[in-house]
Amino acid sequence: MAEHALKSPFLKEAYARGYIFQCTDLAALDDAMCAGPVTGYIGFDPTADSLHVGNALSIMMLRLLQKHGHRPIALMGGGTAKIGDPSFRDEARA
């Protein structure tokens, strides 16, 4: 599906801003976005010293969701807060 064929105002703007590079099933996502509010969430590590530029894009996407009538949720990680952000995530977060 070409970007110009999108029905969802959210996806149209996300593409126009360059927020989306690839999507597994763009037609299904477009249909879901048009069917009603979609919930999107992003989790942050509260043990980190600060947020970084990589978090800014995620926050901007949440704001764009909200602008188009969807439900953004920002989470501060409960499990992550207990153990931090280890190098060996798979073993530490079984």
Task: Output the pTM of the full model.
Answer: 0.75
- Is the domain of 31 the same as that of 43? no
Helix or strand run (H / E) with residue 9 = helix 9-16
- Is the domain of 29 the same as that of 42? no
Residue 13 or 91, more confident: 13
Domain count within the chain = 2
- Is the domain of 71 the same as that of 88? yes
State the residue range of the domain holding 10.
1-36
Confidence tier at 53 by pLDDT (50, 70, 90): confident
How far apart, in whole angstroms, are the C-alpha atoms of residue 83 and residue 77? 10
**Cβ-proximal residues to 20 (8 Å cutoff; 6+ apart), any chain:** 11, 14
Residue 17 or 77, more confident: 17
- Is the domain of 17 the same as that of 50? no
- Is the domain of 51 the same as that of 89? yes
- Is the domain of 47 the same as that of 93? yes
Residue 31: CA count within 13 A, CB half-sphere: 5
- Is the domain of 29 the same as that of 72? no
